[in-house]
Amino acid sequence: MFHKSILSSRVVLVFLSIYCLVFTMAISANTQSVVTTHLTVLYENDLHGHLLPFNDVQFGKDVGGVARRAYLMNKFKKENPNTLIFDVGDMLTGTLISSLFQGAADFNIFEKMPYDAMAIGNHDFDYSLVTLRHFIQTGPKPILSANIFQQDNVLLTKPYIIKKLAGLNIAIIGLTTPSTSMTNSKNVVGLHFGDPTTELGKFMPEFKKQADLVIVLSHLGYSVDKDMAQKVKGIDIILGGHSHTKIDSYEKSGNTIIVQDYMGGIFLGKLDLTIIDKKIVDQKAVLIPVNSNVPDDKAIAAYLKPYADKALKKMNIIVGKTDKDLNESEVGTWLCDVYRKKLNVDMALQDMAGTRTAIYKGNVTYNDIYTLLPFDNAMVVLEAKGDLIQQILNKCDKSSVSGATFNLISGKAENIQMDGKPLDLSKTYTIGANDYLANGGAGLSVMKQAKWVRTDKQQRDMVYDYLKEHPVMSAASK
């Protein structure tokens, strides 16, 4: 009896030991299967050539600057090695330093900084397709777009990459706005732009097999991003651009996180993700101000210096002055008056999107005019009958006009006066405009019906010439 009891106790102890061991191993196995990852995504969009700090009408003086952004990028990447860094297009065009080197300064800096990829924006074509193709083919970092096709439906560049980081396979795909009228039409000859949502949808089954996360670099605009997130299932994150939207944190459309950081590099977007078992369970996003409180990255500042020195020498030349601050509307009016007088035409137009700054009281520098008119457009003279003038003015809600007064009511120009006289529908009038407008840009496709009489000076050169004769800028030129 005694021995049987001892034996039974030993059996029970062995059983309990085995049970505890199995239970412990089960808990351990279950715990080990839960993998938590902290991923940081840094993002920026629509830099428009702002390699150097600048003054912004909304966010104040001495903001932005590529050396400051590089400092922040390296700082955050050091804090979390699981960091990805992206540019969402329109890196080029908008400053003298960008144009002076035809994008070389911008793209060379891009290659020196810790970016993982960029998307192509419409203004990245502004220095010609040949130039953009050169940077795509020679640069070591991917420049992406899944909806730009050459002849025979061959893509211009890589559509996407798969990035392996922290045990995750991350698909990054670029999309470009089909609104190619927002660059000069000569820059996109031979290309066609597929519908971004359709083209993205074609890759999603592939991503479902290959990728744990899908990030879209979308140079399409805020409203398109929201719509696309509803139509294409499986997008985890949309890093937006094109519309210059300032999203202070993040928004969600369905299950998709949408962010965008305004423009000009005034902010650096920072999205922090908590990922458990390859699923996003938490997200935080913030726009980091890039201003004089942020130190320069010394290596990038040194690399940029030869470009900056050459540009600054020209930028600081005084070309005129103004006795008051001029807002963008007043500057647009002044420009149209300048064009009308220099071209000796009946009416002159300036697209509002083509003027990128106000002009502040005091001396006006070469750089002020360059920043105001960043696009390399030539001025042209056109001829049009009065009935075509009517159609053009119907579409002038996004353009400044000189030489014609009218009331725009529900998309129709009424009470049109040309130099103080009623519009004569049968009379031929002359129009001065840049070649972007003459080729149908800014929604003015009707302009292509006008007769092209001649091409004149580049629009900035025309303004510089005018300021030599009339150095004081005002809301209406004298």
**What is the reported pLDDT for 367?**
85
What is the CATH topology of the domain spanning 36-310? Purple Acid Phosphatase; chain A, domain 2 (3.60.21)
Q: Tell me how far apart the alpha carbons of residues 94 and 151 are, in angstroms, rounded to a whole number.
A: 30
**What is the reported pLDDT for 10?**
58
Pairing of strands 472-473, 83-87: unpaired
The answer to whether residue 14 scores a pLDDT higher than 70 is: no
Tens-place pLDDT, residues 47-83 = 999 999 988 767 888 999 999 999 999 999 999 999 9
Tens-place pLDDT, residues 185-215 = 788 899 999 999 999 999 999 999 999 999 9
**What is the reported pLDDT for 329?**
86
Range from 176-190, 251-265, 309-323 carrying the lowest mean pLDDT: 176-190
Nearest to 404 by CA among 421, 426, 391: 421
Q: Is 444 within 8 Å of 371 (Cβ atoms)?
A: no
Enumerate the H helices of 118-195 as residue ranges: 129-138
| Burial of residue 100, with CB atoms counted within 10 A of its CB: 0-12 exposed, 13-18 middle, 19 or more buried | middle
Q: Which residues contact 147 (CB under 8 A, 6 or more apart)?
A: 175, 176, 178, 193, 194, 195, 196, 199, 200
**What is the reported pLDDT for 478?**
42
Average pLDDT over residues 305-316: 90
Enumerate the H helices of 271-379 as residue ranges: 298-315, 328-343, 366-372
Nearest to 211 by CA among 254, 250, 165: 165
Q: How many helices and strands in the chain, by DSSP H and E?
A: 13, 27
The CATH number of the structural domain formed by 317-473 is 3.90.780.10
Average pLDDT over residues 298-317: 93
Q: Tell me how far apart the alpha carbons of residues 357 and 327 are, in angstroms, rounded to a whole number.
A: 8
DSSP string, 44-85: E---TT--S-EEETTTEEEE--HHHHHHHHHHHHHH-SSEEE
**What is the reported pLDDT for 257?**
98
Average pLDDT over residues 333-361: 91
The answer to whether residue 272 scores a pLDDT higher than 50 is: yes
> Which contiguous run of DSSP H or E holds residue 362?
strand 362-365
Parse the chain into domains and list their residue ranges: 36-310, 317-473
**What is the reported pLDDT for 17?**
55
Tens-place pLDDT, residues 136-162 = 999 999 999 999 999 889 999 999 999
- CB count in 10 Å sphere of residue 254: 12
| Burial of residue 106, with CB atoms counted within 10 A of its CB: 0-12 exposed, 13-18 middle, 19 or more buried | buried
